[in-house]
Structure 1
């Protein structure tokens, strides 16, 4: 399928049409000058020099017009061999262009060298701490408008589905158990788990107080008729509730309580199993998969993406207001942190560099294929116009230079001929 030219992509750059008219006008001027000087050559010998200049300039202009035209089309519509070079070889041009990109740009070594020269973190820090024109001006009128238009133009459901699928795939690929085990071990090493134990014990005590009637009912139902008749079931229930409450109080107040120590020992075992036990890892992965596939999680991811999209749209529509609010304070603080924390800046730059290299490795072939297939899908008129416009006025300068240089060469030859008699 050939893709026709589209308005906006194939408009001649400013000055190209004017330069083409100048080159053609200069050629026509040489033709006219040649015929005028030819009729006046017998009037004065100087007209011979003019005729030689015009004749050679005319030949040079026609030759260069032919050469430039032959690149993109058949001169005068005649199927002359080895003309219309670009249209005839556009598929090969697309392949060669794609291969050129692959071998010279989408190479990990090239990208790594280029990315090492870029201080992405420093640039972001500078922009966040000192936004150009108060985050308005050109940014608001240009980049922010473009971002807003792109976000609004993309299908929210399809894009959201892609984001959700990407997030879910990333979660599926991530081994949760070792990470959780490492986090739990680090938390216990710094005693950050103790407030959690205290909170759990406090919650258990509150739950016991709020549900003591359930314990009494269970004891009443399980007790025999004799205990119920004598009222001892109530006494047993009170003793049981008081004992549990006292146990929880002792665990909360005594860090060395045996049950509390056993709970901490259980957490240490859990941290070890999460990191090294294959069975525990498999159970966690199975639980993670069930959680990801849960409809509630899918709705959560949908809502998360929609909230993020709305936030991006709000920032893009009015970046100045966003920078004045709480988000602006956070972003400025982030910029100051990037300025002062060189270790963090190096980490971010290294991450960006690895991400760029990863994109080249993972999607380089797709990018190359996209370039090749796009060029091949263009019709001959489209690729001719786009390449001709891309080169711009330089081709017309070749015609002008050929006309003038040809004329000067002809003038020199005629001068030498006259001098040698």
Structure 2
């Protein structure tokens, strides 16, 4: 954009602080006001010339008053023209000190603006007072209590969840989850916990159902597979024993096994059941206190976690969970979305009617906002300072002039009018005092 009042912009500079089409429209308004202010100065000069000529020609005392007013108007117009012009450029191109303030002190102005914003907008007291006046908790509660708003938030959350799960690569998540599970499992000894849990199960008799199930299944299997038992016994007998002896021994072994399993099934106080109870109790105690047993459990744990099948199970678990969540997020009638919507409505109603909850929400939001502005205050103000520092000096000056120049031209017009009135007043007082 041309620096003078009548120049036109033929191209817009690209980059930070670029001169936009909107700025050009504003600059046209600035040029119109410049023309009016300059016309007022020219009018004062013409009036001064004519009034001075008339006074010397003997037109009367009125000409002196008009000349004094016009002269002071010119002085006021020129002074304000100099002041306004000195903000953006050097008047008449002369290297006068303290002119072209915006181009030469752009970086300093940026730092001052950053400090001003930090002191007056990013202080903890200002943030707290502003948020307290807004009453976010009350407004948020009333807003969430409306079903259509709860539906909207649910939809947005579902969209965000689907987007996040879509962006995440399964291999990355599986690697992280697998590493986290393995690291957590390796960092904690599981034997004492297992011992405590087993001890509680035995004390409560929770294992007896499992023993009952094993006894029932054993009896059923023996009743169905008697021939298999006898063949196994016969097959393990020496070759020199008679065949009928092997069958008799096999039959005896089978009957004893069946009798033993049946008695354990039908007798809750069977000695073998007591032996199982004692074994489990002793094993629970070993898990808690015996170093050798604990070491064997830890070694088994590491072996299990290191197996490829276990890692594949972890990977498939994440894939299943991911697919389940995506499907639930896409289905408007899924339990996940229904519960989310219900929870949002409930939260909205509670916040609308529970002053204590609103106070907690407001306090949390205030604390979070204060933490952000106090922790990142210098980064925020630094963004302003660095942004202004990155702008081109001349382009910045033109951009600022386009946005505030129109109001500044009113200063020139006001200076012309006020100067003329002041000159007329001073001339009148001088005449009165001289008389």
TM (norm. structure 1) is 0.54
Assess if the C-alpha contact under 8 Å between 2:80 and 2:415 holds in 1. yes
Q: Which one of 416, 424, 432 corresponds to residue 415 of structure 1?
A: 424
- CA distance in 2 between counterparts of 1:266 and 1:53 reads 108
Once the two structures are superposed, the pairs formed by residues 105-120 of structure 1 within 5 Å of their partners are none
Unmatched 5+ stretches in structure 1 = none
Aligned residues: 380
Distance 1:35 1:339, change over 3 A: closer
The equivalent residue for 1:238 is: 258
- CA distance in 1 between counterparts of 2:147 and 2:67 reads 67
Assess if the C-alpha contact under 8 Å between 1:57 and 1:404 holds in 2. yes
Once the two structures are superposed, the pairs formed by residues 35-46 of structure 1 within 5 Å of their partners are 35-41=42-48, 42-43=50-51, 45-46=65-66
The equivalent residue for 1:406 is: 415
How far does residue 34 in structure 1 lie from its aligned partner after superposition? 1.4
TM (norm. structure 2) is 0.53
Distance 1:381 1:120, change over 3 A: same
Assess if the C-alpha contact under 8 Å between 2:137 and 2:358 holds in 1. yes
Deviation by residue 1:260-282 (Cα, 9 ceiling, x = unmatched)? 69868977997x88xxxx98998
Distance 1:85 1:61, change over 3 A: same
- CA distance in 2 between counterparts of 1:402 and 1:233 reads 119
How far does residue 54 in structure 1 lie from its aligned partner after superposition? 5.8
- CA distance in 1 between counterparts of 2:226 and 2:131 reads 66
Q: RMSD of aligned C-alpha atoms?
A: 6.9
Assess if the C-alpha contact under 8 Å between 2:33 and 2:410 holds in 1. no
Distance 1:21 1:39, change over 3 A: same
The equivalent residue for 1:294 is: 311
Once the two structures are superposed, the pairs formed by residues 51-130 of structure 1 within 5 Å of their partners are 52-53=72-73, 56-57=76-77, 59-67=79-87, 69=88, 83-85=102-104, 126-130=142-146
How far does residue 406 in structure 1 lie from its aligned partner after superposition? 3.2
Assess if the C-alpha contact under 8 Å between 1:52 and 1:414 holds in 2. yes
- CA distance in 1 between counterparts of 2:35 and 2:275 reads 106
Assess if the C-alpha contact under 8 Å between 2:106 and 2:389 holds in 1. no
The equivalent residue for 2:4 is: none
The equivalent residue for 1:328 is: 341
Distance 1:211 1:10, change over 3 A: farther
Once the two structures are superposed, the pairs formed by residues 19-38 of structure 1 within 5 Å of their partners are 20-38=27-45
- CA distance in 1 between counterparts of 2:325 and 2:177 reads 13
- CA distance in 2 between counterparts of 1:351 and 1:269 reads 49
Q: Which one of 220, 229, 248 corresponds to residue 247 of structure 2?
A: 229
Distance 1:329 1:135, change over 3 A: closer
- CA distance in 2 between counterparts of 1:27 and 1:75 reads 15
Distance 1:112 1:129, change over 3 A: same
How far does residue 38 in structure 1 lie from its aligned partner after superposition? 1.6
Distance 1:266 1:159, change over 3 A: same
Q: Tell me which structure has the larger Cα radius of gyration.
A: 2
Deviation by residue 1:174-212 (Cα, 9 ceiling, x = unmatched)? 7985999999989x99x9x96975775576567657866
How far does residue 10 in structure 1 lie from its aligned partner after superposition? 6.7
How far does residue 297 in structure 1 lie from its aligned partner after superposition? 1.9
Assess if the C-alpha contact under 8 Å between 1:60 and 1:406 holds in 2. yes
Once the two structures are superposed, the pairs formed by residues 20-419 of structure 1 within 5 Å of their partners are 20-41=27-48, 42-43=50-51, 45-46=65-66, 49=69, 52-53=72-73, 56-57=76-77, 59-67=79-87, 69=88, 83-85=102-104, 126-131=142-147, 135-136=151-152, 144=156, 148=159, 156-158=166-168, 204=214, 208=218, 221=232, 224-225=236-237, 228-230=246-248, 231-246=251-266, 294-305=311-322, 307-308=324-325, 314=330, 325=338, 327-333=340-346, 368=379, 375=386, 380-381=391-392, 393=403, 395-396=404-405, 399-400=408-409, 402-407=411-416, 409-419=418-428
Distance 1:297 1:237, change over 3 A: same
SS at match of 2:419: helix
Unmatched 5+ stretches in structure 2 = 1-13, 52-62
Assess if the C-alpha contact under 8 Å between 1:49 and 1:415 holds in 2. yes
Assess if the C-alpha contact under 8 Å between 1:10 and 1:386 holds in 2. no
Distance 1:219 1:250, change over 3 A: farther
